[in-house]
């Protein structure tokens, strides 16, 4: 067994989705999916436009209501929890499209991320950590978020989520709309965050990059999981190559 496979086998499950389904009116966007996140790993959830990736994340965060199924976080079902309690419990989402508060400063955006926390020293330490991950945010701390570039706003959105002290970080297409060099930088930082032991669920349409850094991956097509394997195996799976990697 390779070192990575060995560490995967030993890692305990931190979050498990059981038969999760979500409908918008008559349209069932997520059709009963199962997914398991191992502690300290990056898990990729990949798929095309409209596959249901964001809907799945929103259901985990409590922002859309599941029509059936469970989201078990350390054994507790989050389905009945409020979005606020889910964040305070350590499951924190970075929304698609960045969604920073553009009329607030960078510092203020980061402070908002920590709004559920009472541990001042921990918040100060995490602020320094976020600034070390994203030096540009420190340089521009008192500037308005609205003046940041797209890549910098994505960094701020990730930084704000980190200020909530996640145990599980949910990232919805962090590379969307960014230039190739910035995309490299974002994926590198996701790996760096993961190296601190943080569990990451990475939703992406950038299938190649996501599978490269993920220990495990799931492929979602029209609301159903059609493939599940290690990131490395999925990268070489002929079905994935043909449908998502331009093979």
Ligand X SMILES: Nc1ncnc2c1ncn2[C@@H]1O[C@H](COP(=O)(O)OP(=O)(O)OP(=O)(O)O)[C@@H](O)[C@H]1O
Applying CB under 5 A, does 175 fall inside the site for Mg ion? no
Task: Give the nearest distance from C-beta 217 to Mg ion in angstroms.
Answer: 17
Q: Is 109 in the site for ligand X (CB under 6 A)?
A: no
CB of 53 to Mg ion, least distance (A): 5
State the chain's maximal CA–CA distance in angstroms: 51
Structure tokens at 86: 């889910």
Residue 135 site contact among Mg ion, ligand X, none (CB < 5 to 8 Å, cut-off depends on kind): none
Q: Which stretch binds ligand X (CB under 6 A): 9-17, 49-57, 133-141, 194-202?
A: 49-57
Asked if 154 is part of the footprint of ligand X (rule: CB under 6 A), the reply reads: no
Of the residues 30, 38, 54, 78, which one makes contact with Mg ion according to CB under 5 A: 54
Question: Which residues in 82-107 are b (16+ Cβ under 10 Å) and which e?
Answer: eeeebbbbbbbbbbbebebeeeebbb
47 lines the binding site for ligand X (CB under 6 A): yes
CB of 2 to ligand X, least distance (A): 31
Q: Is 190 in the site for ligand X (CB under 6 A)?
A: no
Residue closest to Mg ion (Cβ)? 54
Tokens describing residue 175: 């590379």
Q: Do the strands 68-73 and 13-24 form a parallel or antiparallel pair, or are they unpaired? A: antiparallel
Interacting stretch for ligand X, rule CB under 6 A, among 34-42, 44-52, 65-73, 183-191?
A: 44-52
CA 83/CA 204 separation, integer angstroms: 23
Sole window of 6-14, 32-40, 48-56, 123-131 interacting with ligand X (rule: CB under 6 A) = 48-56
Binding mask 52-81 for ligand X (x = CB under 6 A): xxxx--------------------------
Tokens at 202, concatenated? 């990475």
**Distance, C-alpha 112 to centroid of its chain:** 19
Kindly state whether residue 90 participates in binding ligand X, applying the rule CB under 6 A.
no
Name the residue nearer to ligand X (CB basis): 52 or 159: 52
- How would you class 6 by CB atoms within 10 Å of its CB: exposed for 0-12, middle for 13-18, buried for 19 or more? exposed
Of 244, 189, 179, 247, nearest in space to 217 by CA: 244
DSSP line for 85-131: HHHHHTEEEE-TT----TTSBHHHHHHHHTTT---HHHHHHHHHHHH
Min CB(44)–ligand X separation in Å = 13
The binder of 27, among Mg ion, ligand X, none, by C-beta within 5 to 8 A per type, is: ligand X
Dihedral in degrees, nearest 10, Cα atoms 234, 179, 126, 139? 160
Contact string (CB under 5 A) for Mg ion, positions 178-197, x = contact: --------------------
């Amino acid at each position: 067994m390779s070192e990575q496979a060995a560490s995967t086998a030993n890692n305990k499950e931190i979050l498990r989705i059981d038969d999760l389904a979500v409908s918008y009116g008559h349209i069932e966007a997520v059709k009963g999916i199962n997914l398991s996140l191992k502690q300290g790993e990056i898990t990729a959830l990949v798929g095309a436009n409209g596959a249901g990736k964001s809907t799945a994340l929103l259901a985990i965060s409590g922002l859309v209501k599941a029509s059936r199924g469970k989201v078990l976080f350390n054994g507790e079902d989050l389905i009945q929890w409020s979005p606020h309690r889910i964040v305070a419990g350590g499951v924190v989402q970075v929304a698609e499209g960045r969604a920073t508060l553009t009329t607030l400063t960078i510092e203020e955006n980061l402070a908002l991320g920590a709004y559920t926390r009472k541990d001042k020293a921990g918040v100060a330490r995490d602020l320094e950590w976020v600034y070390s991950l994203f030096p540009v945010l420190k340089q521009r701390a008192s500037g308005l978020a609205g003046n940041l570039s797209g890549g910098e706003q994505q960094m701020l959105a990730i930084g704000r989520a980190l200020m909530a002290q996640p145990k599980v970080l949910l990232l919805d297409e962090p590379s969307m709309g960014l230039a190739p060099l910035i995309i490299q930088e974002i994926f590198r930082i996701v790996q760096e965050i993961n190296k601190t032991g943080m569990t990451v669920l990475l939703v992406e349409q950038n299938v190649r990059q996501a599978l490269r850094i993920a220990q495990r991956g799931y492929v979602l097509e029209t609301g159903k999981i059609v493939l599940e394997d290690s990131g490395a195996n999925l990268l070489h799976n002929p079905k994935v190559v043909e449908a998502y990697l331009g093979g």
